[in-house]
Structure 1
């Protein structure tokens, strides 16, 4: 039986390429946050991207090139710009006006990236824009109630879709042990999702958990 390599988990359009002699994840697109470039390729920094960290750690995200993606917590576009480099229509939800302006700038050269100034806790406010049955929800929302956000947005996910969730323990409860916080979030998630894989992201992001799940 052939053993899968880490590269086998990468979607089409994401490659490992050398930048200054160091092999790094990369996508094709205009630079957004001062990342190294090599021609049309731009390095994907996993220390600034929870999804990038999940790729680096070999998690099986199920993402494929040309997938339709709903990205919750897009901020200034660091990660979602990489996603839009290889994915299909990518809906980027950000609540704060200042990073949303930077997100708009990242979207200018990416016709498949749609910026939405909205609150991920209130999916009804963008339900008229986001198409039904998206292939993946990528969530990186630093707020209390991260499981509830994922459950509220489950309505957009295809039956065979994936939730790629980065749980920030300190956003849920700064006083509790992160493992206890993660356990509580996972228990709540199970009301609407089956968890396929979980992994601490501490190598790149302290007190974060990466979760891959599918809708029940």
Structure 2
């Protein structure tokens, strides 16, 4: 897909995320590996004033919960250039590849996926996206990969398991900085298909609060995903900040 003069790239308010403005606007990330598509996504090449080109990859919200959350108006994703991210439920690496683009060469993405089949694609993607560390393990057993993962600024989770809150908590206790952030995609019918989605989201938020998470916002992923929500917040907010907030 040629960009050329017809496409205008604008910065999104989330640092490291962009919007390609043409006939139809598209969410895009700056390709860390120019010339390469990861999952058949369109690439847009834009001419710079100094005769160089910059390549962007279209980020499809129907294939990525994080893109859906951004288009759903989430206030902050906390994933930005230079960030260290622990990504739980990496699958074959579709969204991970865009997170890799966003954090850039100075950032790092620890990508955990239990399925060996998906993991193969993840490992192949990471060969070129060198800021991605693929980890083929069960996110419930974070001690198995503690030697591979440093402290992180953000945990992103899309594990679609009934005990997702506990899985995220275990990983946060081991790897997430105090005052760090979490972004969790919640699929209601994976947790409890017998009650309305809103009730599931509310009970998940309560579970998170018990684990020292402080949820700050919740957005629906409609119309891209049914009965999904994205919850974002802070982990173990530093005491000083709490005191200041109360004054």
Fold agreement, TM-score > 0.5: yes
**What is the CA–CA distance in structure 2 between the aligned matches of 1:27 and 1:109, rounded to whole Å?**
16
Deviations, residues 135-172 of structure 1 (Å, cap 9, x unaligned): 11010001111111111111211122110000011111
2:108/2:131 contact within 8 Å kept: yes
Q: CA 1:28–1:7 in structure 2 vs 1: closer, same or farther (change >3 Å)?
A: closer
Within 5 Å, which residues of 2 pair with 1:160-199?
160-191=179-210, 192-199=212-219
Show the 5 A alignment for 1:24-103. Answer: 24-29=26-31, 30-39=36-45, 40-59=55-74, 60-87=76-103, 88-103=107-122
Q: Partner residue of 1:11? A: 15
The structure with the larger Rg is 2
Match of 1:3 in 2: none
My pick for the range that moved more, 175-184 or 86-95, is 175-184
Q: RMSD of aligned C-alpha atoms? A: 1.4
- Alpha carbons of 1:110 and 1:73: their partners in 2 closer, same or farther (altered >3 Å)? same
Gaps of 5+ in 1: 1-5
Pair 1:140 & 2:140 matched = no
Secondary structure of the corresponding residue to residue 58 of structure 1: coil
CA–CA distance in 1 between the matches of 2:141 and 2:233? 21
1:144 and 1:128 map into 2 onto residues whose CA distance is: 27
Please report how far the alpha carbon of residue 175 of structure 1 lies from its aligned counterpart in structure 2 after TM superposition.
Answer: 2.1
In structure 1, distance between residues paired with 2:92 and 2:217: 28
* Number of the residue aligned with 2:49: none
State the distance in 2 between where 1:182 and 1:70 align: 22
In the alignment, which residue of structure 2 is the partner of 1:211? Answer: 231
| Number of positions where the alignment pairs a residue of Structure 1 with one of Structure 2 | 207
Which whole-Å CA distance do the structure 2 matches of 1:64 and 1:165 have between them? 16
Runs (5+) with no aligned partner, structure 2: 1-10, 46-54, 237-247
SS at match of 1:22: coil
SS at match of 1:194: strand
